[in-house]
Structure 1
């Protein structure tokens, strides 16, 4: 039996338990499940791309290089013979069909691998010239070969510990008369070449160098950072943010790259939103 003193105490205690039992469900300090963060996105924009690939090289002295046939045709040697001097832009060294081939720099004829009247294929070595000065021998690493989809148009080189910003002339390596020119888009072999320096260039053979290959230029094209695209040569995939906030994978066509941005040839429109991270790397 409750006495007069315990009755009010028990009543208060019951009220306290009732309040404490309800408090956790309505306590704002207790966190619920975290909300999913929205993906970071960027906008597809238009811009110009100048595809320049920088590759390592080594300075070499008086290397031999190929004058390649620009098309299939019949080889005409004229009066050219081995060990004959040639001058830059001078008389034709040989002809393939109706196309004359001249030396880009002074040198000598090192070899004529095919006889007069031989039918040669496009890219075959029509004559071998020994350069009269220095050159940089280069090779594009296999992991960068996708960027050399077409032959480079020009090049500049910087010799480590030597002169920099030097214009140089790209020349092919020597191939047989029935061989075709190296096509890096179809070949598993890395692209290799010689970058012929002017005859007054001073450097020590064996020095390392860096060669910037001018590949292609594109004006007013759709671009995205490489980090937002899966795939690198011809086709790839991006993650597109839809109007309802969902993310969908979408195939895209890919063009040239400058090593930071890549051209989008199809699959997206200017203003589309894609995730910063490529599909599979979100």
Structure 2
């Protein structure tokens, strides 16, 4: 698709502006991480209901149960939870017969390999976790561009100012890595086609709502509230507040309070 049209005006009183355009946008964020052997993660309830552990966990003890990919360690109501990657049971988190809500962690397990761990930025965590996430990863000065299964890790933020939820990229066993190496996880979640879009640098705000400076045909300007959707870090979807015929100043207004 064509690049966003940026125009300098001859009238110095009119700010440099950029046109609202239509773009295909895929939500992507890069997360720094480090390699760990046998990292833990949690398998959550697939729906709201009563937990029933299957025969695979009956009378089991932590560290003694190997769980193959696709195995069903428990059910919630009539829906089974599946193990996403080969793992080892660490502990159950709720008793058999307990009623839980969808998404509540039920068992903690350890991946039977190496994982790349990192934290999602708070500003984009909800948007990414709410979508259908996928990931690729690269090890610093090592293997790059490999796909990995993305999991929500066990560790929660320790301090109020810490970054968002910890994620785990389960590194395939044919990718050679070592404990303690650093790397990058590229997380993608959702795509919007033909979205009204602007450069993120022209918008104040980073999630849900923002403000832009609209440049009118007569050169006058006005600050306008806009709705924000999917972003890839460089371009952001405008969900309401602007039309394709609008232009906005390349410099954003004051930050949204």
Unmatched tracts of structure 2, length 5 or more: 1-10
Higher strand share: 2
Q: Does 1:130 align with 2:110?
A: yes
After superposition, residues 220-239 of structure 1 pair within 5 angstroms as: 220-239=194-213
- Relative distance call for 1:189 and 1:122 in structure 2 (3 A) is farther
RMSD: 2.3
In structure 1, the residue matched to 2:69 is: 88
Superposed CA deviations along residues 208-267 of structure 1, whole A, max 9, x for unmatched, are 010000022110110001111111111111111222221111111111111111110111
Q: Secondary structure at the match of 1:161?
A: coil
Alignment of 1:176-255 (within 5 A): 190-255=164-229
Question: If the length of structure 2 is used for normalisation, what is the TM-score?
Answer: 0.84
- 1:258 paired with 2:232, answer yes
Structure with the larger helix share? 1
1:146 to 124, 129, 141: 124
Report the Cα distance in structure 1 between the residues aligned to 2:211 and 2:149, rounded to whole angstroms.
37
Inter-CA distance 279–147: structure 2 relative to 1 (3 Å threshold): farther
Confirm or deny: 8 A CA contact 1:132 1:199 kept in the other structure: no
After TM superposition, give the deviation of residue 148 of structure 1 in Å. 4.4
Structure 1 residue 100 corresponds to structure 2 residue 80: yes
Asked if the contact 1:134–1:201 (Cα under 8 Å) also holds between the matched residues in 2, the reply is no
1:77 corresponds, among 41, 49, 53, to 53
Q: Larger C-alpha radius of gyration, 1 or 2?
A: 1
Q: Does the CA-based 8 Å contact 2:48-2:102 persist in structure 1?
A: yes
Distance 2:84 2:138 in 1: 20
Per the TM alignment, residue 188 of structure 1 is displaced from its structure 2 partner at its CA by 8.1
Q: Does 1:270 align with 2:244?
A: yes
TM-score relative to the length of structure 1: 0.77
Going from structure 1 to structure 2, the CA distance change for 1:150 and 1:203 (only over 3 Å counts) comes to closer
Match of 2:34 among 55, 58, 68: 58
Counting matched residue pairs gives 235
CA distance in 2, matches of 1:92, 1:232: 39
Provide, for residues 75-110 of structure 1, a one-character-per-residue CA deviation record: whole Å limited to 9, x for no partner: 111211232211112x31111111111212222222
* Partner of residue 16, structure 1: none
Q: Which residue of 1 aligns with 2:6?
A: none
Does the 8 A contact of 1:157 with 1:210 survive in 2? yes
Give me the whole-angstrom Cα distance separating, in 2, the residues matched to 1:129 and 1:278: 46
